[in-house]
Amino acid sequence: MSWRVGSRNVRIGREAGETNQAGYATAVGMEAGKTDQGDSAIAIGDRAGSVNQGTGCVAVGVTAGRVDQGEHSVAIGAYACSDASSNNSITLNATGTLLSNKVANSLIIKPIRNAASPNMLMYNSTTGEVTYVSSVTEGKATIASMERDASEILGQLDVQEFTYINKGKHNAYSSVVDSAESRHQPEMARDMDETHFGFGVEELQDISPDLVYSDASGVPLDIKWDNITALLVKGNQEIRTDITNAIEDIDENKANIGQYR
C-alpha cells in the first residue's frame, strides 16, 4: 500500500494519518485522520477525522468529524458530525449520540439546560463576541426616570407579519438524532416557515436609534427587545394616568352639573 505524509505533521496511533496526510496536520488515535487529512487539520480520538477531513478542521472525540468534515469546521465531543459537517461550522456534542451539522457557518450545541437565568446572552454578529446583559444597578450609570413620551414612540411602530428567508433550512437538520434521552427541552419547530409578528429593525432605527443594536458604522443589526418592553410599561402607565385624570374630570363635571339641578 502506498502512502504519503506531508511536512511537519504528527501521526500517533494505529493507521493514524496513514494515507495522504497533508502538511502541518495532526492525527492522534486509531485511524484518526486516516485518509486524506487536510492541511493544518487536527484529529484527536479514535477515527476522528478519519476520512477526507477538510483543511483547517478540528475534530476531538471518538468518531468526531469521521467522514467528510467541512473545511475550517470544528467538531468536539464523541460522535459530533460523525457522518458529515458543513464548512465553517461549529458543533459541540455531549449527548453521547450522533449530532450532525450540515449547515454552513452555523453553531450547534447540545444539550443545553433549560433554566431560569437572570442574565440574557447577546451575540455581536460583527465581532463574533458572546456577552451577557445584567440588570443589576451596579452595572449601570446615569440612571434617571424616563421622561420620553412612550405612547408617541409606540404609536409610530409598524407591527409586521413575516417569515424568515432561512427558515427552509430545517431540512438540513433532518439527520440529527433527537432522542428523548438526550433532549433537555421539548422538541420545538423553530426552523419552519411559520408566520412571525414583529418589527423591521431599519424602521425602528428611524423612529428611535435607542431601540436597535447597531454595528460600528451605524448599520442596525437587531432589536433591543428589553427597551421595547420598557416602553410598553411606560406607555401603559401614561394611559392609566390619562384614564385617572379623565375620570376625575368627569366626576368634577358631574358635580358642577348637579349644582344647577
User: pLDDT averaged over consecutive 10-residue blocks of the chain (261 residues)?
Assistant: 68 94 95 96 97 97 97 97 92 94 90 73 77 72 85 93 67 52 45 79 94 87 90 94 93 82 66
Q: Which residues make Cβ contacts (< 8 Å) with residue 92, sequence separation at least 6?
A: 76, 77, 80, 108, 109, 110
Cα 133 from Cα 121, distance rounded (Å): 7
Q: What is the pLDDT of residue 221?
A: 85
Report helix, strand or coil for 252.
helix
Q: What is the pLDDT of residue 112?
A: 84
Q: What is the pLDDT of residue 54?
A: 96
Q: What is the pLDDT of residue 5?
A: 63
- Closest-CA residue to 61 (of 28, 35, 89): 28
* H/E element, 39: none
Q: What is the pLDDT of residue 6?
A: 67
Q: What is the pLDDT of residue 187?
A: 46
The x, y and z cell numbers of residue 71, run together, are 473545511
Q: What is the pLDDT of residue 40?
A: 96
Instruction: Kindly report whether the global pTM for this prediction surpasses the value 0.85.
Output: no
Q: What is the DSSP letter of 96?
A: S
Q: What is the pLDDT of residue 195?
A: 86
Cα 43 from Cα 31, distance rounded (Å): 10
Q: What angle do CA 145, 151, 152 make, to 5 degrees?
A: 105
Amino acid at the residue 117: S
User: Are 101 and 108 in contact, with CB atoms under 8 Å apart?
Assistant: yes
Q: What is the pLDDT of residue 168?
A: 46
* H/E element, 82: strand 80-85
